[in-house]
Amino acid sequence: MTQTTTAREPVGSLQVALQHAARLLAANPQLALEQTREILKSVPAHPLAILILGTAQRLLGNLGEALAILEPLSLAQPRSAHTFFELGMALTELGRDDAALKALRRAVYLDAALPDAWRTIGDLLTGQGDADGADAAYAQHIKSSTQDPRLMTAAAALCENDIPQAESRLREHLKLYPSDVAAIRMLAEVAGRLGRYEDAETLLTRALELAPSFGAARHNYAVVLQRQNRYAEALAQVDKLISLEPRDIGNRNLKAVVLAKIGDYPQSLEIYADVLARHPNQAKIWTSYGHALASAGQQMDAISAYRRSIELEPDQAEPYWSLANLKTFRFSETELADMRERLKKPNVSELGRAQFHFAIAKALEDAAQYRQSFENYSFGNALRLAQEGYDPDRTTRHVERSRQLFTAEFFAARSGFGSPAPDPIFIVGLPRAGSTLVEQILASHSSVEGTMELPNVMNIVSQLRGKNGKNAGSRYPEVLAGLSAHQCRALGEQYLAETRIQRHTTKPFFIDKMPNNFLHTGLIRLMLPNAKIIDVRRHPMACCFSGFKQNFANGQRFSYSLAHIARYYCDYVELMAHFDAALPGAVHRVIYEHLVDDTDGAVRDLLNHCGLPFEESCLRFYDNDRPVRTASAQQVRQPIFREGIDQWRHFEEWLAPLKESLGDVLTDYPHAPRY
């Protein structure tokens, strides 16, 4: 930056004064402001003094004054990276994201070694939902944090998503420089991209031990905790960040996500609404806002949010699929035509292509165009299966091993093991079997709190499997045979402690509606013997085909193939039949069709199994306005109707392979075949 001086001011003393004012910015911006004004009395047009003045105004929160100083300065000093950086920061705090990004990108164009500029670009892109762009910006932030050429090479590999190269370089570097926090954070990013969240957590913990003020590492740490479903810990980290940077959009958006995960929709929706009021053109945040609104039962507002997202970015698929996933929403012919046109575009991702196929299939099903609908469901599932993969043999082996381990004698020998707490009511089965309806009925009782599909049992399973749990050497469930009474009780207490964040009332019982927990019925019984287990079962054809139509976000990889889902259903029936024999009466089964035909009788039986007195509110479950976080959220806010029972028959001519794969499980329904 070119500096101007006057003949009256010696250059040396001017430079000393400017350096002193600049040093004051961090500790005392008010004093820096006052001293800079004195300098400008002597040198009115000095650009560095003007920059310090604008920076001080920004740090003091006087954003209008800062902008009035920095905008003209950026025009007068078009090659001053620091001027554009300060302008970008002021615009960010004013919520003018597009202008802020433009200024900050100009700053890093002029000087790539501006880590705070790269970090803020990453934060803004995170707020916009541009995960790839944010990852790239954060990688540049790390890259600009050091001039070590080996670390710069690793950063370049990370920017290009060359994970093996980045990991190799970083490990070599950290052998020589084990306290380099930038390198530690980079290695944690590598671990996160590989899904090794425990490793990422360990690395980020070390980085924050070394540099507690490393905000970017703390943000990453909060994300890693959230991805491990450790919401209370994630929230604590986000709150620390927000206390230091209350206007930061990335941190506020992350807080809204975590709050929604723990069912605190009022606060989550408040944050989303405030963020969008300040940053109204962020399509992906509108979609996230729509998800939260839908779960909170505000369907019309959710539809508006999804449509606003589509207006801003018409080519994105997620809001279209989200509209379809409301189940009660109907696309117009124009919207169907729009989706078909979007699907033809070459830049649509594989996930987006799958989402478009599922949404189009739903629209065609509603229009009674069943052949075309089935074709699109099949295309969407094929794409998801290619992305996710699934090994049905693993589930079958798990069922066989569980049957061998969990005998009547096994449980008799462990009488009195586990935590005696009766609080949890586990609802298990297959997705789309009617479990959300049963949850809504129970949650309408004055003694029962509904939560969500809690991941905590699966987290404990991962803990028992150890780091090699996905390999053939995993000893779960056999490892349970070696646990002491104390260890089983500790697991039960751990589950209760970890799920406490999901409980927002003083009701004595709460529901865990993770359907896949049927695979861990033995563990549940061992660690929480007084918990209730409800198995919700639906006609195999209806349940399997409904799952095939669903496009689950994650966790249900078996659902992307009719053959896989049929085998999964058969494995499920076999395992639950085994527990019926080993633990008679421990599992209460609700047959969905019986619930529809005789709601009063089925509800009374259900409440009786749970030890709860009958309450009329359980029959008027559709009046319950609690948040519901599954695909059936809108459906369970309506009275029970029969129309959904036989919807699969519209597609029956294409479902012969499903019937064949189900075999005796289909012909013997609702009873289990003899095993």
- Dmax (CA) for the chain in angstroms is 102
Q: What is the pLDDT of residue 147?
A: 63
Residue 10: DSSP 8-state? -
Structure-model confidence comparison of residues 153 and 63, the more confident one: 63
Q: What is the pLDDT of residues 96-132, one digit of tens each?
A: 999 999 999 999 999 998 877 887 898 788 778 787 7
- Residue 195 — very low, low, confident or very high, per pLDDT cuts 50/70/90? confident
Q: What is the pLDDT of residue 474?
A: 66
CATH of 424-453+512-667, one of 3.20.20.70, 3.30.390.50, 3.40.50.300, 3.40.50.720: 3.40.50.300
Give the whole-number percent of the chain exceeding pLDDT 90. Answer: 68
Q: What is the pLDDT of residues 458-488, one digit of tens each?
A: 999 989 987 544 444 468 999 999 999 999 9
Summarize the confidence of residues 89-95 as an average pLDDT.
Answer: 92
Instruction: Give the distance from CA 519 to its chain's centroid.
Output: 23
Q: What is the pLDDT of residue 467?
A: 52
By C-alpha distance, which of 448, 477, 438 is closest to 460? 477
- Residue 95 — very low, low, confident or very high, per pLDDT cuts 50/70/90? confident
Q: What is the pLDDT of residues 359-379, one digit of tens each?
A: 999 999 999 999 999 999 999
Handedness of CA 500, 503, 507, 511 (dihedral sign): negative
Handedness of CA 257, 259, 263, 267 (dihedral sign): negative
Report residue 639 as tokens: 């009275």
Other CB atoms within 10 Å distance of the CB of residue 667: 11
Residue 322 CA to residue 245 CA, distance in Å, equals 32
Q: What is the pLDDT of residues 372-415, one digit of tens each?
A: 999 999 999 999 999 888 999 999 999 999 999 999 999 999 99
Whether 148 has a pLDDT exceeding 80, the answer reads no
Burial of 4 (0-12, 13-18, 19+ CB in 10 A): exposed
Of the ranges 38-47, 508-517, 557-566, which one carries the lowest mean pLDDT score? Answer: 38-47
Give the whole-number percent of the chain exceeding pLDDT 70. Answer: 93
Q: Where are the domains of the chain?
A: 314-388, 424-453+512-667
Q: What is the pLDDT of residues 539-556, one digit of tens each?
A: 999 999 999 999 987 779
Report residue 253 as tokens: 């958006």
Residue 102 CA to residue 109 CA, distance in Å, equals 10
Q: What is the pLDDT of residue 105?
A: 95
Whether 6 has a pLDDT exceeding 70, the answer reads no
Q: What is the pLDDT of residue 631?
A: 47
Residue 140 CA to residue 370 CA, distance in Å, equals 49
C-alpha pair distances (Å), 651 with each of 203, 328, 373, 552, 635: 51, 20, 9, 20, 21
Which phi-psi region, left, alpha or beta, contains residue 349 (left: φ > 0; alpha: ψ -120 to 50)?
Answer: beta
Of the ranges 1-15, 20-34, 304-318, 614-628, which one carries the lowest mean pLDDT score? Answer: 1-15
Give the residues across from 534 on adjacent strands: 427, 588
Q: What is the pLDDT of residue 12?
A: 55
Q: What is the pLDDT of residues 609-650, one digit of tens each?
A: 999 999 999 998 887 665 554 544 455 445 666 666 788 999
